[in-house]
Structure 1
Amino acid sequence: MKIAFYGSSILSAYWNGAATYYRGMLRALAEKGYDITFYEPDVYDRQKNRDIDPPDWCRVVVYDGTVEALKQVTAEATKADIVIKASGVGFEDDLLLEEVLRHAAPHALRIFWDVDAPATLAELRANAGHPLRKALETIDLVLTYGGGDPVINAYREIGAHECIPIYNALDPHTHHPVEANPRFFGDLGFLGNRLPDREARVEEFFLAPASRMPSQRFVLGGSGWGDKGMSSNVNYLGHVGTADHNAFNISAKAVLNISRSSMAETGFSPATRVFEAAGASACLITDYWEGIPLFLAPDDEVLVARDGQDVAEILSGLTLERARQIGAAAMDRVLREHTYAHRAEEADRVFRSAARRHSEAAE
């Protein structure tokens, strides 16, 4: 089956946290025989900061950030059996959704793939006239990359015919153990862009412990933190390209996952970095959110902190030997249960089931 996928970017992770999710998910679907074209706008300097070249498992069409170019690429949706519009593309999202649905062939499965469901649902609750509300009448299926029952129920309440989470996972092709890199040495590393609903949690879970533990070395990667006040034992690296993520994850004694506020409150929303760190055999400390044991076992495969004091206490008592044991156990778990090959099996079943219902409804 042919898939036309309209998303933010598959070529660049620059200010684009969904990139590795797209890559892992679509590579795995391509390996199952799907013929995929990914359409991404040339905005936010993403094309100047590409992490990968166009892959051989997916055709990539980069279009200018203009309405005219948008209309040209959405016209190609008519050729696809599955038409997917992702959330947060970043250029004329409402118009893009309208045009994609307008051009989708009558037989095509229409999907909205939400890579930030808590934020999208907050917008929908605040705006009764939001274009997505009306579009849900003709969208066959909403997929999300997390959220569990809270997100499923919320989408159904506002009119979605069906909502199914396809969770983040590990792509072993790209995230795996490598040699440590002295550039990333430290006791605790955190990798994440500076975002409004993450900043306060980064202060609490990372910067505050750093200021209280001057003898420990902290390593911070991600865009936007350059003018942020931080203690002298924090080594700020700026943007870290995906090619260096494995080394970043494995080089510090432990790495930290800090969920955005909306994700933590919703629960059942493991960030991509959770699986990427585990895939590199890193010892992961995560902030608390509902549903962690569905993915990794606390204390054995992941360490859980409810606040910055917990982070400091965990770090103070964490030996290198135990960190390595936790990292190894986490890698075993995700390879066994949480790769994108596993997610693609699920997505394939969902697609085929939804396509049958769509076809039956049209008869």
Structure 2
Amino acid sequence: MKIVVFGLTVSSSWGNGHATLWRGLIRALAADGHQVTFVEKDVPWYRDTRDLHQLPGGRLLLYRDWAEVLARKRDLLDADAVIVTSYCVDAVAATRLIEAEARGLSVFYDLDTPVTLARLAAGEPVDYLPPNGLGGFDLVLSYTGGPALDALRDRLGARRAAPLYGHVDPATHHPAPPHAVFGGDLSYLGTYADDRQAALTRLFIEPADRAPAQRFVLGGSGYPADFPWRDNIYFMRHVAPADHPAFFGSSRLTLNITRADMAAMGWCPSGRLFEAAACGVPIVSDDWAGLDRFFVPGEEILLADRADDVLAALAVSDAELRRIADAARARVLAQHSSAARARELVAMLEDVGQAAMVAT
């Protein structure tokens, strides 16, 4: 297949969860013989933090003005499937162009479904949604499953809605030797978010308060000056994807915290959850509906609702933590790799394409 993606970014992993996901998915699609072009607006904040300049297994097209896209539209729209994603800067313009001139399937991929639906419910504008909803697309993919799929159909008119969950590329996220800089008893990797702060306080700051002899390591961008740091919390402002294996591999245990909208909706595993598991570190996570669809609690992941649960997880023996980590890694490699998601995507595109041929 020839696939074109109009997306937020694949070239910079700074402050977003899209780039790493697309890199793994495109690599996997290319390994199966598919051709992918990623079209990205060259905005200053990603230009200044760019950590990928050539797309392994694909083609990266950076543009500064929409006229540059229009000048290449014949090539871009001559594809088996054209995908527009949430937070794509020119999503509406791309949608109009696809509806008018694309020869293949049109697809919308919402990698931020809980945010999309929460903003709609609050009456707030969603810049990346077409004014007439999602009914014009042949297929709507969602990073979130469960009830979110019904909402995409009922509220936004999606004709076909299906989940394409997060995933991990084992070529970039894998067990690695520990590094002294990242070493700690409990780590947390994530960009600062207001709606995660209460859980971060409960599951990271409070345990650090109560276990002053243990080392807590936090990595991520956007943390404010008034963040409630503790003497035993060590901070890395930005941990590049290439350093994720060493970051995770240096922790005895790592914490996963889900964005509030994602946790409330459920069925929305973050890519970071799969990355940590692929790196072979045991995970303690907040709980949400559908989590047991991806990992078996107590067998492949530990769950925490309060500080006591985190401290109890830290007290688990090394041997038991290793068993949990190994089980989670095996589950991810079998079911939640980028290669697995690439096959799911292609299968869905083929099914929709065949259905369209039968209908005509």
Q: Residues 73 and 233 (structure 1 numbering): CA distance in 2 closer, same or farther, change over 3 Å?
A: farther
The residue that corresponds to 1:151 in the other structure is: 148
Q: Over the residues paired in the alignment, what is the CA RMSD in angstroms?
A: 2.0
2:162 maps to a residue whose letter is I
The residue that corresponds to 1:36 in the other structure is: 36
Decide which moves more: 50-59 or 184-193: 50-59
The residue that corresponds to 2:60 in the other structure is: 60
The residue that corresponds to 2:308 in the other structure is: 309
Q: 1:336 aligns with which of 334, 340, 344?
A: 334
Identity rate, percent? 37
Q: Residues 129 and 298 (structure 1 numbering): CA distance in 2 closer, same or farther, change over 3 Å?
A: closer
Q: How does 1:123-162 map to 2 (within 5 A)?
A: 123-127=119-123, 131-132=129-130, 134-146=132-144, 148-158=145-155, 159-162=157-160
Is the CA contact (8 Å cut-off) linking 2:119 and 2:125 kept in structure 1? no
2:16 maps to a residue whose letter is N
Asked if residue 285 in structure 1 is aligned to residue 284 in structure 2, the reply is: yes
Q: Residues 88 and 128 (structure 1 numbering): CA distance in 2 closer, same or farther, change over 3 Å?
A: closer
Q: Residues 132 and 231 (structure 1 numbering): CA distance in 2 closer, same or farther, change over 3 Å?
A: same
Q: 2:165 aligns with which of 164, 167, 185?
A: 167
Deviation by residue 1:225-260 (Cα, 9 ceiling, x = unmatched): 151221111101101100000011110110111000
Q: Which runs of 5 or more residues in structure 2 are unaligned?
A: none
2 CA distance for matches of 1:354 and 1:269? 24
The residue that corresponds to 2:105 in the other structure is: 109
1:346 deviates by: 1.5
Q: How does 1:340-355 map to 2 (within 5 A)?
A: 340-355=338-353
Q: Residues 322 and 81 (structure 1 numbering): CA distance in 2 closer, same or farther, change over 3 Å?
A: same
What TM-score results when the alignment is normalised by the length of structure 1? 0.92
1 CA distance for matches of 2:313 and 2:73? 50
1 CA distance for matches of 2:6 and 2:280? 33
2 CA distance for matches of 1:285 and 1:307? 11
Q: 2:116 aligns with which of 102, 112, 120?
A: 120
Q: Which runs of 5 or more residues in structure 1 are unaligned?
A: none
Is the CA contact (8 Å cut-off) linking 1:70 and 1:96 kept in structure 2? no
Q: 1:200 aligns with which of 198, 202, 213?
A: 198
Decide which moves more: 340-349 or 172-181: 340-349
What TM-score results when the alignment is normalised by the length of structure 2? 0.92
2 CA distance for matches of 1:211 and 1:97? 50
2:79 maps to a residue whose letter is A
1:359 deviates by: 2.9
Decide which moves more: 318-327 or 182-191: 318-327
2:21 alignment partner, SS class: helix
Decide which moves more: 331-340 or 171-180: 331-340
Q: How many residues align?
A: 356
